[in-house]
Structure 1
Amino acid sequence: MADIIEIAADNEKASKIFESYIQSGNLNFLMGSGASFPAIATAGNIETEIDDLLVAGDETGASRRCLEFVEQIDTVHGQISTATAGDPIHGVVENYKLFLSIIDRILFTRKNILLPRQATVFTTNYDMFLEHASSLVPAVVLNDGFDRSSSLSPEFMFTPERFFDRTYRSGPIYGHQIEIPTINLVKLHGSLSWRRSKDSVVFDPAAIPKLNDEQRADITQVNAYLEKHFLILPNLRKFHTTIMERVYYDLLRLFSKAMDYENSVLIAFGFSFADEHILDLTRRALRNPTSQLVILSYDTASATTYQAKFTKQRNVAVLAPAAGTTIDFKRLNDLLVSILPGQPDGH
């Protein structure tokens, strides 16, 4: 059964847990809608809501609920580069910027030279907070799986094998090779920046024009708008095309494979494990006795819910805050900072 470990305000116990796994393990993160809160409301029971409509035969209602969900995220996306201090969107961008910077520093200062200086962030979020944050931290190398090799084509093609690339820098005199830290970004449910192109997926961050009230009333145009995005929508009707199904399973295989490596650690934050596919894959991946799942519970109530989902797994630790406190993104960053060399005070 998963262990629930209560962490105090000084984060000392959590820091020791993190340090042991991060310094000696293959590092992975799983981030859900809670990571982009409060800029974007958490997904909650959106999948159940839409599934209930589909089961009842209300496909129109299901499509309209999907539209509301996508439009909410798209609206935030339109403000992501202009939000100012005090705006929740700006605060979330700052959280992601610090997160990427810390992971880059952790990888760079790793003592174990046998491990790759590479971490992977898996996320089910459609938003582009991580991509935008990486553009604001020049030192961070973010690999999102798209091939940006020199080409006359304006389209960047999705190439999953890019996630296995490692980057090295050579010295000009002695030719010493040093691996440059790389952060892989694997968006398990697609992204607002993904579009279909023939039989593949391309990167296109340009926003799709929003529907006006008249278009929103026309269910044909609603469905057409949804289909222009390459998103695994939260419902039973996940796949609309063969290419979508193929890409989705490619992404899930990457997730499963990441946990197959020896001494792999998966740190889950802002993710409820309500997605049955990912929950099942995670349980199966934990059959690897050297793997470890560390879940950061937002509050004490959520901790027992997580524990109930992993009743047969012993390599799961749920870090829970003391009663009346929470583990938000700022606290996650504080925990990660505290394990950096030369940072005894966590700053």
Structure 2
Amino acid sequence: MATKRAYYGHEGDRDYFERVFQSANINFLIGSGASLPAIRVLGSIEDDLQQLINDEKEAEYFTMAADFLSAVWLPHEYILKRGNGVPFSPVVIANVNAVRKNYDAFISSLEKILTRRRTGLLPRRINIFTTNYDLFIEDAATRNNNVIFNDGFRKRSSIEGHMIFDSGCFYQTISSTGNLYNYKVELPGINFIKLHGSLSWYHYQNNLYYNIRDPRPLDFKDDNEKKDWVLSHALILPRKEKFKETLLQNVYYDLLRTYSNELDKEATLLVVFGFSFADEHLETLTKKALRNATLKLLIFSFDEDSVNRFTDKFRDYSNVEVIYRPGGHIDFPMMNNIIISYLGA
């Protein structure tokens, strides 16, 4: 069954995490808890939207969806230095800056893990899977030039230089060769795989493009403008059949397949933070993957109250460990410290 592992910061803890990270294909699954407090967790928004669909309350559906997406966009308007002339509150600014700092430290932590990787038998690459729509990780990646950041978009040979999404990018590696000597070194890289879409995705003519859309209007002129704004987002949200996009559904299942394939590899590590496994598809795929005896699932529990919920959810799997701090919390900064604790100062 799933086991609990207390973290005290002792030498034994550092030895444990060194063994875990140095000998595995590393994957992270990041949930909405990582973007707190800048963006509130999803809560029951998906169930609430689905209920409005079931009740055929279209106007209420688009009002709720627009309010939710507006809340997700709010911290990005501050990051992008735009806000329709409306000043941002000190709380919003403080929350965004705190979350950006956490993600900066996270990308830096992954860089350190990859740079210090001793074995040449494993790729110098980490996969980050997330159900988040926000752009905090993309934002953090712009401030770290020591890793190759791959979000699935590549430039095609067009004069416009459009960035088109291609999931095949996630199976590529980039190496550096010397000018004078015959050697090749794989550069540390991060695959960033957004399972539920992104605020930066734009669907146009059977392709997904990287595009940061204009700010939403301060007030929608009518219900049609509100509906068009909601539907312009390439996100996995409950929608009526007539509003569903075949391309987005295909991309979604393609990325889920990538998630499954990565977890099926030998000697694989999946680290989970800020994710509750409320998503039934991901829970099912993860449990199927745990049949791989060489897969280890590490779940960082925010507090001791959540430990039993995780161990009960994965009670049938012995390759699952739930990490917690007795009498304390594991927030984002603490998780960053724990995963690089073995690297020393």
Same fold per TM (> 0.5)?
yes
| 274-283 or 96-105: bigger deviation | 96-105
- Cα distance in 1 for partners of 2:76, 2:56 equals 32
* Structure 2 portions without partners, runs of 5+: 82-87
Choose the corresponding residue for 1:333, options 324, 331, 336: 336
Shift of 1:78: 1.1
Query: What's 1:145 paired with?
Result: 152
Q: SS of the residue aligned with 1:107? A: helix
Shift of 1:70: 1.1
Query: What's 2:256 paired with?
Result: 252
Shift of 1:249: 0.6
Shift of 1:281: 0.8
1:29-48 matched pairs, under 5 angstroms: 29-48=28-47
Normalised by the size of structure 1, how large is the TM-score?
Answer: 0.91
- Cα distance in 2 for partners of 1:71, 1:16 equals 44
Q: SS of the residue aligned with 2:79? A: coil
* Structure 1 portions without partners, runs of 5+: none
1:102 to 2:109 alignment: yes
Shift of 1:125: 0.8
Shift of 1:212: 3.2
Query: What's 1:64 paired with?
Result: 63
Choose the corresponding residue for 1:311, options 315, 335, 340: 315
Shift of 1:269: 0.4
Q: SS of the residue aligned with 2:70? A: helix
1:134-213 matched pairs, under 5 angstroms: 134-148=141-155, 151-204=158-211, 206-213=212-219
Shift of 1:81: 5.0
In the alignment, is the contact (CA less than 8 A) between 1:11 and 1:335 conserved in 2? Answer: no
- Cα distance in 1 for partners of 2:13, 2:331 equals 14
Q: SS of the residue aligned with 2:29? A: strand
Q: SS of the residue aligned with 2:78? A: coil
Cα gap change, 1:314 to 1:219, in 2 (>3 Å): farther
In the alignment, is the contact (CA less than 8 A) between 2:28 and 2:128 conserved in 1? Answer: yes
Shift of 1:237: 4.9
Q: SS of the residue aligned with 2:285? A: helix
- Cα distance in 1 for partners of 2:56, 2:244 equals 17
1:126-168 Cα offsets, whole Å, 9 max, x none, are 1111111110112221100111355413321111111111111
- Cα distance in 1 for partners of 2:13, 2:219 equals 50
Q: SS of the residue aligned with 1:212? A: coil
Shift of 1:287: 1.1
1:183-332 matched pairs, under 5 angstroms: 183-204=190-211, 206-215=212-221, 218-233=222-237, 235=238, 237=240, 240-323=244-327, 325-332=328-335
| 138-147 or 264-273: bigger deviation | 138-147
Query: What's 2:51 paired with?
Result: 52
Shift of 1:50: 2.1
Q: SS of the residue aligned with 2:34? A: helix
Amino acid at match of 1:135: T
- Cα distance in 2 for partners of 1:163, 1:120 equals 9
| 251-260 or 54-63: bigger deviation | 54-63
- Cα distance in 2 for partners of 1:144, 1:254 equals 13
In the alignment, is the contact (CA less than 8 A) between 2:49 and 2:61 conserved in 1? Answer: yes
Instruction: Give the alignment's Cα RMSD to 1 decimal.
Output: 2.1
Shift of 1:39: 1.1
Shift of 1:334: 0.6
In the alignment, is the contact (CA less than 8 A) between 1:80 and 1:129 conserved in 2? Answer: no
Shift of 1:3: 1.0
Cα gap change, 1:228 to 1:172, in 2 (>3 Å): same
- Cα distance in 2 for partners of 1:141, 1:268 equals 22
Cα gap change, 1:11 to 1:225, in 2 (>3 Å): farther
Amino acid at match of 2:59: T
Query: What's 1:5 paired with?
Result: 5
In the alignment, is the contact (CA less than 8 A) between 1:7 and 1:13 conserved in 2? Answer: no
Query: What's 2:128 paired with?
Result: 121
Shift of 1:21: 1.8
- Cα distance in 1 for partners of 2:120, 2:156 equals 29
1:4-28 Cα offsets, whole Å, 9 max, x none, are 22222x2655433332221001000
In the alignment, is the contact (CA less than 8 A) between 1:80 and 1:90 conserved in 2? Answer: no
Normalised by the size of structure 2, how large is the TM-score?
Answer: 0.91
